[in-house]
């Protein structure tokens, strides 16, 4: 076996051992993290469920709930039969134990607590605990399985045939292609020339830099690209030492000159001398600050203006240099420990990110790619968590060999704390919005929901998350959208809008809503959307309707009273005048009602009036108005009467209906009354409402003299 094969076999053994160890450690650790998280969540849910039961007792009896020991003991003893054994405690706000179950658990224990609230005020805690011993035992079994599996993998990899090793050695030939890929993707321009100064190759970055296609650039003289460099006369003894880095002029395909930083070196490729040039366009750098000629001075100045510290690491990613812009700061003053020089950043104690985050960062470093704003945190000298953000670029020597990284870093602790404060503020605002007695929502320019409080979301059948991003058409419904579309259009034009609408719920109940739309205006006066504030005014509307009915209807018979009668009579006059039509007014007075009321009492009189109102109502049309305007006086407005005889016919029907005996349930007997009706026709008998009432009243008194009859106005 060759030395290369022996070396590869040794490497494979190390890899096998590494995989086996990684599996033996990660499998039980991962299993432990999963089962522990499930157990923690279940314990928290159990504590929340118990707290909810106790909170119900608090709501029932907020003053004496803590003295209801049997009930609290029952809650503490509550346990799911199919779950693991648990201990429950109920504490008051001073930490005193109010109740607990008698379950004994083996340590170690996992505990979670849930608050007990009385109208939002903390009055105690419900604590639930369970034993972690079963989880540790199962984790130990998983660890044993992982150890055996790792041992099997290690033995399998060590027993690979030699033929597999040779195939692996053959795969190493692909390394050249990988390196070529790195060159093709390098951010610096890389160009090679032969001893005669003719271009042999250039990477895509160089092609872009000089404006050539790669094919048309091959064979060109070095003077076409580097007019200030004589490649042919720049040879060095033994083809070894590089010329180093220098600043020069480059020339693009269109003849434009630009400043470059050139790393020129000489090497033997396939036994032939070659020049390798690594080119960096420094035009922008020179334009920004001509006074800062030295690259190190320029870099440090930019660092001081934009960052808190500068750092460098070697090819093994060990920190080799770091200095703070503020000379008063140091690793000891910020983090409480000495300089981390010689250590990799993930080897120092950290709080974030997690292992996956560090693995991703290390993958970027191993690929030698630039990175920006990688964030991590450590424990500060004062014990608080301090956050850092670093950016870095890979460094290569003139031959293209990787030398490490250099970059800048910023202490972003203040920003992180501000972000946390903003998140907490947002949570507080959400809590406030969810507890105000109104439905609030925010809509963007496209009328898609960007925020809705809990009351708004639940009223329209959504959760606080599922309503986000939905169009107002989808939220309000297709039937309601045409009604409210115009209001939202006005709000998006910058006009506040207030309107009322009715929404029918799934159970058929109608809810009255008062809605106010406020434009969301940005800094420059641009309307960014609108806010909606919706209040359920159903109870107010129903109360208003009840008040309207009480104000306009007779409480005994339910008929319109004198106020509503006058309004409807005025409307009838206006409509008849407009349409050149006529209508009739019947003024009715009951005969012998006073004798019934005096002899049988007011209860009998009230019952009789209710029966009279019902009989009159049955003799007229739905469009006609029957009103009670006095003790035993009623009126009837007969709309759209073409001939006076029609009014007389209705009057005689009413007289006949009221002439029939009335059975009074309260007296267990029947009574007989009569009625006299006066009839006035608009506009022949009167030209306005008041005159029409007087005419009908006068006709009624004429009819009353005869008794149980009807008379027209002016009739003898």
Rounded Cα–Cα distance for residues 309 and 311 (Å) = 7
CA dihedral sign of residues 354, 360, 365, 369: negative
Residue 24: the pLDDT is: 78
Q: What confidence tier does 395 reach under pLDDT thresholds 50, 70, 90?
A: very high
Q: What confidence tier does 240 reach under pLDDT thresholds 50, 70, 90?
A: very low
Helix or strand holding residue 202 (H, E): strand 199-202
Question: Could you report the per-residue pLDDT of 462-514, keeping only the tens digit for each?
Answer: 988 888 999 999 988 888 899 889 999 999 999 999 999 888 877 778 888 89
- Which CA distances in Å does 361 have to 187, 354, 421, 565? 20, 11, 28, 86
Higher pLDDT, residue 311 or 545: 311
Residue 309 has pLDDT above 70, yes or no: yes
Higher pLDDT, residue 625 or 538: 625
Residue 536: the pLDDT is: 86
Residue 490: the pLDDT is: 93
Residue 79 has pLDDT above 70, yes or no: no
Residue 377 has pLDDT above 80, yes or no: yes
The beta strands (E) that lie in 319-401 are given as: 319-324, 371-379, 385-396
Residue 627: the pLDDT is: 94
Residue 634: the pLDDT is: 95
Question: Could you report the per-residue pLDDT of 560-603, keeping only the tens digit for each?
Answer: 999 899 999 999 999 999 989 999 999 999 988 888 888 888 88
Rounded Cα–Cα distance for residues 139 and 29 (Å) = 8
* DSSP secondary structure of 253-295: TTS-EEEEEEEEEEEEETTEEEEEEEEEE-HHHHHH-TT--SH
Of 242, 290, 246, the C-alpha closest to 401 is 242
Q: What is the mean pLDDT of residues 382-411?
A: 89
| Strand order across the 97-100 sheet | 97-100, 86-92, 121-131, 109-118
Rounded Cα–Cα distance for residues 558 and 609 (Å) = 11
Residue 297: the pLDDT is: 58
Count the helix, strand and coil residues of the chain and give each as a percent rounded to the nearest 5: 45, 30, 30
Question: Could you report the per-residue pLDDT of 242-291, keeping only the tens digit for each?
Answer: 456 778 888 898 888 888 888 877 777 777 788 788 888 888 888 876 65
Query: Is the CB of residue 666 less than 8 Å from the CB of residue 596?
Result: no
Residue 626 has pLDDT above 90, yes or no: yes
* DSSP secondary structure of 62-109: TTTGGG-HHHHHHHHH---TTS--EEEEEEETTS-EEEE-----PSSE
Of the given ranges (87-91, 333-337, 490-494, 501-505), which has the lowest mean pLDDT?
Answer: 333-337
Residue with tokens 């009998």: 604
Q: What is the mean pLDDT of residues 99-119?
A: 83
The beta strands (E) that lie in 575-641 are given as: 583-591, 625-628, 633-638
Q: What confidence tier does 624 reach under pLDDT thresholds 50, 70, 90?
A: very high
Q: Beta strand 449-452 with 497-504: parallel, antiparallel or unpaired? A: unpaired
Residue 162: the pLDDT is: 43
Of the given ranges (149-153, 173-177, 562-566), which has the lowest mean pLDDT?
Answer: 173-177
Q: Beta strand 710-712 with 674-682: parallel, antiparallel or unpaired? A: parallel
Mean pLDDT, the chain, integer? 82
Rounded Cα–Cα distance for residues 613 and 618 (Å) = 9
| Structure tokens belonging to residue 700 | 């009624």
């Amino acid at each position: 076996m060759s030395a290369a094969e022996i070396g590869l076999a040794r490497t494979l053994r190390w890899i096998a051992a590494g995989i086996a160890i990684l599996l033996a450690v990660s499998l039980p650790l991962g299993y432990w993290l999963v089962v522990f998280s499930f157990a923690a969540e279940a314990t928290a849910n159990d504590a929340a469920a118990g707290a909810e039961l106790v909170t119900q007792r608090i709501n029932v009896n907020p003053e004496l709930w803590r003295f209801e020991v049997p009930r609290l003991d029952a809650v503490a003893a509550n346990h799911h039969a199919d779950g693991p054994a648990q201990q429950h405690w109920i504490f008051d706000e001073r930490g005193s134990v109010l109740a607990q179950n008698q379950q004994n658990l083996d340590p170690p224990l996992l505990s979670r607590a849930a608050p007990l609230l009385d109208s939002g005020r903390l009055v105690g805690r419900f604590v639930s605990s369970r034993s972690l011993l079963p989880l540790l035992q199962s984790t130990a079994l998983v660890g044993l399985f992982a150890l055996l599996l790792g041992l099997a993998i290690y033995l399998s990899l060590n027993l690979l045939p030699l033929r597999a090793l040779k195939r692996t050695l053959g795969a190493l030939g692909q390394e050249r292609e990988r390196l070529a890929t790195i060159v093709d993707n390098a951010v610096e321009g890389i160009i090679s020339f032969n001893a005669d100064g003719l271009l042999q190759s250039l990477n895509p970055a160089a092609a872009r830099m000089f404006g050539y296609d790669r094919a048309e650039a091959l064979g060109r003289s070095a003077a076409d690209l580097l007019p200030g460099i004589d490649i042919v006369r720049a040879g060095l003894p033994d083809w070894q030492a590089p010329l180093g880095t220098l600043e020069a002029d480059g020339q693009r395909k269109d003849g434009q000159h630009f400043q470059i930083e050139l790393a020129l070196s000489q090497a033997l490729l396939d036994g032939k001398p070659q020049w390798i040039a690594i080119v960096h366009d420094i035009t922008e750098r020179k334009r920004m600050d001509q006074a800062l000629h030295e690259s190190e001075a320029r870099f440090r100045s930019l660092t001081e203006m934009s960052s808190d510290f500068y750092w460098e690491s070697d090819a093994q990613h060990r920190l080799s240099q770091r200095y703070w812009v503020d000379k008063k700061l140091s690793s000891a003053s910020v983090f409480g420990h000495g300089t981390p020089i010689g250590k990799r950043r993930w080897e120092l104690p950290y709080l974030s990110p997690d292992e996956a985050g560090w693995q991703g960062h290390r993958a970027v470093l191993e690929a030698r790619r630039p990175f920006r704003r990688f964030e991590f945190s450590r424990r500060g000298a004062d014990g608080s968590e301090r956050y850092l953000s670093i950016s870095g670029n890979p460094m290569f020597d003139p031959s293209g060999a990787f030398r490490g990284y250099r970059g800048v870093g910023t202490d972003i602790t203040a920003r992180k704390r501000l972000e946390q404060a903003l998140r907490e503020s947002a949570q507080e605002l959400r809590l406030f919005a969810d507890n105000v007695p109104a439905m609030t929502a925010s809509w963007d320019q496209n009328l898609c929901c960007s925020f809705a409080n809990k009351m708004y979301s639940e009223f329209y059948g959504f959760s606080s998350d599922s309503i986000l991003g939905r169009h107002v058409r989808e939220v309000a419904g297709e039937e309601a959208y045409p009604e409210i579309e115009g209001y939202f259009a006005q709000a998006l034009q910058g006009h506040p809008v207030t309107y009322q609408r009715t929404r029918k719920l799934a159970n058929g109940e109608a809810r009255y809503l008062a809605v106010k739309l406020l434009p969301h205006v940005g800094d420059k006066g641009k309307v960014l959307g609108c806010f909606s504030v919706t209040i359920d005014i159903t109870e107010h509307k129903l109360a208003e309707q009840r008040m309207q009915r009480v104000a306009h209807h007779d409480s005994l018979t339910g008929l319109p009273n004198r106020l509503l009668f006058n309004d409807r009579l005025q409307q009838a006059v206006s409509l008849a005048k407009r349409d050149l039509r006529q209508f009739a007014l019947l003024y009715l007075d009951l005969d012998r009602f006073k004798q019934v009321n005096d002899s049988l009492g007011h209860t009998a009189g009230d019952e009789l009036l209710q029966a009279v109102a019902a009989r009159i109502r049955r003799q007229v049309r739905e469009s006609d108005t029957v009103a009670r305007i006095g003790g035993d006086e009623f009126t009837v407005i007969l709309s759209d009467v073409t001939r006076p005889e029609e009014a007389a016919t209705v009057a005689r029907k009413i007289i006949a209906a009221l002439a029939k005996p009335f059975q009074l349930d309260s007296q267990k007997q029947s009574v007989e009354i009569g009625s006299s009706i006066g009839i006035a026709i608009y506009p022949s008998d009167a030209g306005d409402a008041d005159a029409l009432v007087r005419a009908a009243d006068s006709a009624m008194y004429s009819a009353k003299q005869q008794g149980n009859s009807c008379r027209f106005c002016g009739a003898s």
